[in-house]
Amino acid sequence: MARSITAAFAGIALAFGVAATATAQTAAPSKPAFAPTRTVTIIVPYSPGGGTDAVGRLMAKALEEKWGQTVIVDNRTGGNGSVGAALVARAQPDGHTMVLAVSGIAINAHLMKLPYDTATAFAPVTAVAYPVATLLATPTLPANDFKGLVELVRKEGPDKRTSASPDPGSRLMAERIFDSGGIKLMNVPYKGAASFVGDISAGRVDVGIASVTSGLALINAGKLKALGIMGTQRIPALPNVATFKEQGFAGLDENSWYGLFAPAGTPPATVEAIQKDIASVLAVPEFRAKIIEYGSLPGGDTPTAFSARFQRDIKESGETIRRLGMTAD
C-alpha cells in the first residue's frame, strides 16, 4: 500500500514537473532565428508613401525590435523597380541587404533589358503580405464598379479612357482585368504608386490598379472610387466593394505579393531563419491586424513555397504579356 502511494506521488510529481517545464517553455519569449551583426537594409525599389513602402516600414520596425539591430528602409526608385533590385542582386549574400518588391520584379525580365537574371539572381525569402489590388477611379467617372466601366468603354470606344500604371506588375494586372471585360484603355506609365493615385483623384487619369493600401485614405475621403477588388472575397478595409468575381468576371482571383528577396548565394539556413522571424512577427495578432487594416492579407510562406510561386509568376507573366501584346513604354 505504502509502495503504491509512493509510486502515485512520484507519478504526480513527474507529471507536474513535465507540465511545469512545458509551461515554462511556452511562456519563454521566442528568440530571433537570425542574428544580424550590423545594420540591416531593406531596399524598397518604389516611391515612399506607396503600399510596399508602408508594409516595408512596418516590418522593418518589428524586425528591429526582434533583432536588437537597426533595420532601415532605403527607397531606390527607377527602372520599374529594377534599380533597387539590381543593388540587392550584387550585394553581399549574408542576409543584411534585401529587397521588398512586388510581383513586377518577375515581369521586368519580359519587358526590359536587365543587369541580372531574374530567375537566378535572388534567394526568395517569403511573401510578407498579399496586397489586395483594387481598380481605382477618379470620383467623376460615370461608373461606380467595373461592370459600369466596361459598359462605358464599350459605348465610347477603345483608348478613349486612360489607365495609370506605376510598374509592369500593376500594368499587367490592369491589362488582365480589362481583357476579362473585353475592353481597352490607353496606358499612362508612372513611377511609383504615390504619384499616380493623386493624379487619378484629380481627374488627370481615369483609372489605375493599385494595392488597397495605396489608395485607402483617398477612398475613405471620397477622393477616389474603388471599382472592384481582386480575390475571392471582400475585405474588411473595403466591405462595400465587390470582387471582380462577384461582378461576373473570371480569372481574377489571385492577389499579388510583397516579396522579400535576399541575394542569390545567401546560405539557405540564413534565408530560412529570416523567414521564421518574419513568420513569428506575422503571428502577433496586433501586427496581423495592422496588415489587414492596410488592405493586405498576411503572408509568411516558407522559402520553398514562395520560390515556387515566384518562378511560376515569371513563367506565367511572360505568357500573358505575349498574349496581350504588351510592350515597354
123-144 residue pLDDT tens:
999 999 999 999 999 999 999 9
What are 38-90's pLDDT values in tens digits?
Answer: 999 999 998 888 788 999 999 999 999 999 999 999 999 888 889 999 999 99
**pLDDT confidence of 226, banded at 50, 70, 90?**
very high
Tell me: pLDDT of 270 over 90: yes
For residue 153, give the H/E element and its range.
helix 146-156
Average pLDDT over residues 149-159: 95
CATH class of domain segment(s) 133-229:
alpha beta
pLDDT at site 13: 39
What are 157-201's pLDDT values in tens digits?
Answer: 998 999 998 777 788 889 899 999 999 999 998 875 667 889 999
Tell me: pLDDT of 14 over 50: no
Residue 148 makes CB contacts below 8 A (sequence gap 6+) with: 142, 227
322: its cell numbers: 505575349
Residue 97 makes CB contacts below 8 A (sequence gap 6+) with: 40, 41, 43, 87, 88, 91, 262, 263
For residues 63 and 278, is the Cβ–Cβ distance under 8 A? yes
How does DSSP assign 167-230, residue by residue?
SHHHHHHHHHHHHHHT---EEEE-SSHHHHHHHHHHTSSSEEEEEHHHHHHHHHTTSSEEEEES
Residue with cell 471582380: 244
For residues 76 and 53, is the Cβ–Cβ distance under 8 A? no
For residues 163 and 141, is the Cβ–Cβ distance under 8 A? no
For the chain, which residues make up each domain, given as ranges? 40-129+255-324, 133-229
CATH topology identical between 40-129+255-324 and 133-229 = yes
49 vs 267, which has greater pLDDT?
Answer: 267
Name the residue type at position 93. Answer: P
pLDDT at site 19: 40
- Share in percent of the chain as helix, strand, coil (round to 5): 45, 20, 35
pLDDT at site 326: 77
Q: Which of 31, 12, 32, 9 is nearest to 20 (CA)?
A: 12
Tell me: pLDDT of 120 over 90: yes
300 vs 170, which has greater pLDDT?
Answer: 300
Residue 235 makes CB contacts below 8 A (sequence gap 6+) with: 132, 212, 229, 292, 295, 297
Minimum mean pLDDT among 180-184, 243-247, 277-281, 295-299: which range?
295-299
Its pTM stands at 0.79
Q: Which of 40, 45, 63, 172 is nearest to 101 (CA)?
A: 45
Tell me: pLDDT of 9 over 80: no
pLDDT at site 100: 98
Give the integer Cα–Cα distance in Å for 250 and 180.
7
204 vs 192, which has greater pLDDT?
Answer: 204
Q: What is the dihedral of CA 75, 49, 121, 95, to 10 degrees?
A: 70
> Mean pLDDT across the chain, nearest whole number?
88
Average pLDDT over residues 218-242: 94
pLDDT at site 29: 52
Is the domain covering 40-129+255-324 a CATH 3.40.190.150 domain?
yes
